[in-house]
Structure 1
Amino acid sequence: MELWQAILIGLFGYLGAKRTPWFFGVTGGWNTIGRPLVAGLIIGIILGDVKSGILAGAAVQAMYIGLVTPGGSLPADINFAAYIGIPLALVSGGGPEYAVALAVPLSFFGIVVFNFLMSFNATFVHKGDKYAEEGNGEGIIRMNILGTVPTFLIRFTTIFLACYFGASAAQTLTNAMPEVVGRIFIVLGRMLPAIGFALLLRQTLSDKKMIIFFLAGFVIVASFNITILSLAVLASCIAVLDTMYRKEAA
């Protein structure tokens, strides 16, 4: 990986981190750039392989599709999972399955980094409170800006170093890896997104009887080899008919 590529990936990783305000706040940062699917597109453009980037991003996104962050808590840091796992998987030639396998430990490592940053940045909050009591508006602004510096130093530096120095190591490790280990990574990489969808269904299905529609969709795709778009249109029609029937029954 070239130096400029690692720098760009590190910068986008920082912009997509939790609590980074520069790209339209949380909406443009954590909830947009920080999503693995968007990150996969960005990384694919930087590395010159958009298709592989999107495929890897979609695989990682599927695993965390049911992720919620109530009250600002972070059960998994998908920013680290995306901006380190996806580029390392692409440069090593491992594909989406490798990105998913790498995402799991990286997301837990990101939690450690996030909790450390939140504890450390509390210093700037307390200092800002003191300036607020004194009526010092410039001091409050200064504390808000300084509070982003530790996040930049740790996020950018970690992602940059992992991508720049870890790329060759990941490629060497992949080439030296026994075939059976590679197959294990592929199997795990294909199973983990299914877990993500299962968590999403558990959160969204209020009536467990509705699971029959998901089973029917799976059978239709497997039997008739139709596209996901066609299935989505069919499912929308069924949903409208079901809603109309419920209203008439009421």
Structure 2
Amino acid sequence: MITALLVSLVACVLAVEGMNGQFGFSRPLIAATIIGLVLGDVTTGVTVGVTLQLIFMGISGVGAAVPPNQLIGTIIATTFAIVSGEGPEIALTLAIPVAVAAQAVDIFGRTINTFFIHAADKAAAEGNYKKLELCHFGGLLVMICKTFIIVFPAVYFGIDAVQGLIAMIPAQVLRGLEVSGGILPAVGFGMLLTMLDIKHLIPFFFIGFALATFGGFSIVGVTMVAVSIALIYDHFQKKSENDTESKDDLDALMSE
């Protein structure tokens, strides 16, 4: 009960932050680390968070589209990884299904919030600021409730069920889950490249792949090379823009 309440409280606070603050605390890496800190296993929290950050990196809400709820998926997956003691590999397979399931509840909550939006518009037109403030708190309550009704039952009722299910799963299936968990980051990068759809960035993707696969570079090594290339690319791009501006100024001076 205490674990479920603590995790649910953190989930609600992070959900509010994700919709209003945008300081990044609701991102998978930070959220999983916070859950690890609350449950006393920061190492597992960071491990799960790093991988889920890669998986969900290309997922974002664009316009009226509601993406899978990466926060709830991250929190439940991290909690199961720590409490069940089975490690992050098993938990990673839960993140996507939970996030997609939470997406439906997220859409339902946003639909309810349209009532408060129209009420707030009417209150603003009437100059009723007290009612306008209540509308804001009403939308906040809906957001908290839709997070709590998913996270609390999953943590409180689901941990024992998950432990029993894991004990019943054959070793071959567990190995398959570990392998699938390992390829999920590639799926995240694939979704990111699909969203970006910038053709001239594709070579950089293959450069990183070649360094990691054939060059034996670690993630830190690939990151250092990527940052260096980005700085060089940015330097020459700015230099080209400055040269173009100088040439235009010279042509304008000569024409005068």
TM-score relative to the length of structure 1? 0.84
**Corresponding letter in the other structure for 1:99:** A
- Aligned-pair Cα RMSD in Å: 2.5
2-structure distance, mates of 1:196, 1:24: 22
Residues 24 and 242 of structure 1, relative CA distance in 2, 3 Å threshold: closer
| Residue 136 of structure 2, aligned match among 130, 138, 144 | 144
What residue in structure 1 maps to residue 225 of structure 2? 234
After the TM superposition, which residues 46-61 of structure 1 pair with which residues of structure 2 at under 5 Å, given as runs?
46-61=38-53
What residue in structure 1 maps to residue 174 of structure 2? 182
Tell me whether 1:42 sits opposite 2:34 in the alignment.
yes
**Corresponding letter in the other structure for 1:14:** C
Question: Percent of aligned positions with the same letter in both sequences?
Answer: 32
What residue in structure 2 maps to residue 27 of structure 1? 22
Residues 24 and 240 of structure 1, relative CA distance in 2, 3 Å threshold: closer
What residue in structure 2 maps to residue 87 of structure 1? 79
2:63 counterpart SS class: helix
**Corresponding letter in the other structure for 1:56:** V
Task: Please say if residues 15 and 33 of structure 1, whose CA atoms lie closer than 8 Å, have aligned partners that are also in contact.
Answer: no
> Which sits farther off after the overlay, 76-85 or 149-158?
149-158
1-structure distance, mates of 2:235, 2:91: 43
Residues 115 and 183 of structure 1, relative CA distance in 2, 3 Å threshold: same
> Which sits farther off after the overlay, 225-234 or 49-58?
225-234
2:66 counterpart SS class: coil
What residue in structure 1 maps to residue 12 of structure 2? 14
What residue in structure 2 maps to residue 159 of structure 1? 151
What residue in structure 2 maps to residue 194 of structure 1? 186
Task: Please say if residues 12 and 33 of structure 1, whose CA atoms lie closer than 8 Å, have aligned partners that are also in contact.
Answer: no
| Residue 221 of structure 1, aligned match among 206, 212, 233 | 212
1-structure distance, mates of 2:221, 2:116: 52
2-structure distance, mates of 1:199, 1:172: 33
**How far 1:71 sits from its partner (Å)?**
2.1
2:190 counterpart SS class: helix
Task: Please say if residues 8 and 152 of structure 2, whose CA atoms lie closer than 8 Å, have aligned partners that are also in contact.
Answer: yes
Tell me whether 1:106 sits opposite 2:98 in the alignment.
yes
**How far 1:128 sits from its partner (Å)?**
2.4
2-structure distance, mates of 1:119, 1:237: 45
The higher radius of gyration belongs to 2
2-structure distance, mates of 1:24, 1:108: 18
What residue in structure 2 maps to residue 134 of structure 1? 126
2-structure distance, mates of 1:203, 1:109: 22
Deviations 1:91-150, CA, capped at 9 Å, x for gaps: 223322222211111111111111111111222222223323332111111121122222
| Residue 56 of structure 2, aligned match among 44, 53, 64 | 64
**Corresponding letter in the other structure for 2:176:** I
TM-score relative to the length of structure 2? 0.82
2:21 counterpart SS class: helix
Segments of structure 1 that go 5 or more residues without pairing to the other structure are: none
Residues 132 and 47 of structure 1, relative CA distance in 2, 3 Å threshold: same
The count of aligned residue pairs is 241
**Corresponding letter in the other structure for 1:64:** F
Deviations 1:175-216, CA, capped at 9 Å, x for gaps: 2211122112112111121011122234446235x5444333
**How far 1:229 sits from its partner (Å)?**
2.6
Segments of structure 2 that go 5 or more residues without pairing to the other structure are: 245-256
Residues 96 and 16 of structure 1, relative CA distance in 2, 3 Å threshold: same
Deviations 1:56-112, CA, capped at 9 Å, x for gaps: 111122111111211253221112211212211322233222222111111111111
Residues 130 and 189 of structure 1, relative CA distance in 2, 3 Å threshold: same
Task: Please say if residues 8 and 151 of structure 2, whose CA atoms lie closer than 8 Å, have aligned partners that are also in contact.
Answer: yes
Residues 237 and 83 of structure 1, relative CA distance in 2, 3 Å threshold: closer
